[in-house]
Amino acid sequence: MKTRNIIINTLLSLALGLFLLYIVFNNIDLNLFLDRLDNLDYSWIYLSMFISIFEHIVRGYRWNLLMQTKKTNLSTYITTHILIVSYFFALFIPRFNDFVRCYLISKTNKVKISSSLGTVVSERIFDLISLLIISLLFFVIEFDLFVNFFSTYILTNISFDLYYLLLVFIVLTIIISFLFYLNKNSNLFSSKFSEFKSGVFSITKIYKNKKFLFSTLILWIIYFLMGYVIFFSLDETSSLGINSGIAVLVAGSLGMIVPVNAGIGAYHFLVASILLSYNLNYETGLFFATILHTSQIICLAVLGIISSLILFFKIRSNNEYS
């Protein structure tokens, strides 16, 4: 990707994030908002930050399962640091972290970028399936709340225009046709595409891999706990139950999908909005979302710096002995 495109992408994402933050916090008295920090029980926030460390460890272990072959012997320790650095990188340049982690795994473990990128796509597909399953669970548990939330905040913003659907179909057809042409006429592209395809189709092995399935279950439990334990840091949310925790998990996950730096604005809005259904006012829900989001960003920033240093010396050591 060209440097100019990266800069444009970053500035657009940042601008969108700042705009969303302005909309979300527009009618909030920030002085009263900050005064509420004195009433927090920070022990629960620190616990949430500690739990988040295991998210990266489990993700590193799970990614290794997709990349593992007879020729590779991947370390969860190193892969964990790679994932931390990639997510840290995404704080500044969104949607580029997957390329960063594939580049770093090639430098530390000699795994081809095209192959590892395929496993990332496979992993993303499975994560989306997992989110859909959790959303379905939430749908069953909180049917009325789920329907009201999606009809109010999601479906009202989606329009199905036949002209644009046709345009998207034509563009996709051209792209796919061009890729088939390159695959047939370019040996280099064909080789790289084959490696990428083998990574993507590693998803076919996932459903038989009990370790991958179990680690995915643990990963989503960790995501749930990261938000749930922070309920107890605030008096207004301390009585909320497991259903509310699942609601925050679903809304927060949707917020992180929005192409802005670390989901800023979108994450806050969706989490605050879903908590309205649990008899909280918007300001309290927004305060909770801000505490949860900010604490995780701070934790990621600290871990990102540490992991960057560790990988720097690891890669330099590999270069010296290669």
Q: What is the pLDDT of residues 232-284, one digit of tens each?
A: 999 999 999 999 999 999 989 988 887 777 788 889 988 998 898 888 888 99
Is 121 part of any domain? Answer: yes
Give mean pLDDT, residues 156-164: 52
DSSP 90-125: HTTSTT-HHHHHHHHHHHHH---HHHHHHHHHHHHH
Is 114 part of any domain? Answer: yes
pLDDT at 109: 83
Is 68 part of any domain? Answer: yes
Tell me which residue range forms the domain holding 123: 3-7+41-142+153-233+296-321
Is 259 part of any domain? Answer: no
Angle between helices 42-67 and 113-141 (to 10 degrees): 130
Q: Is the pTM of this model over 0.85?
A: no
Instruction: Name the one residue in this structure whose structure tokens are 């890729």.
Output: 179
Surface-to-core class of residue 172, CB atoms within 10 Å of its CB (0-12 exposed, 13-18 middle, 19+ buried): exposed
Which of 77, 117, 131, 116 has its CA nearest to residue 250?
131
- Round the average pLDDT of the chain to a whole number and report it: 81
Q: Which residues contact 321 (CB under 8 A, 6 or more apart)?
A: none
Is 238 part of any domain? Answer: no
Number of domains in the chain: 1
For residues 200 and 122, what is the distance between their CA atoms, to the nearest angstrom? 5
Q: List Cα–Cα distances, 30 to 19, 22, 24, 37, in angstroms.
A: 17, 12, 12, 11
Is 13 part of any domain? Answer: no
For residues 55 and 120, what is the distance between their CA atoms, to the nearest angstrom? 16
Q: Could you tell me what percent of the chain has a pLDDT over 90? A: 32
Is 301 part of any domain? Answer: yes
Instruction: Name the one residue in this structure whose structure tokens are 């109010």.
Output: 152
Is 23 part of any domain? Answer: no
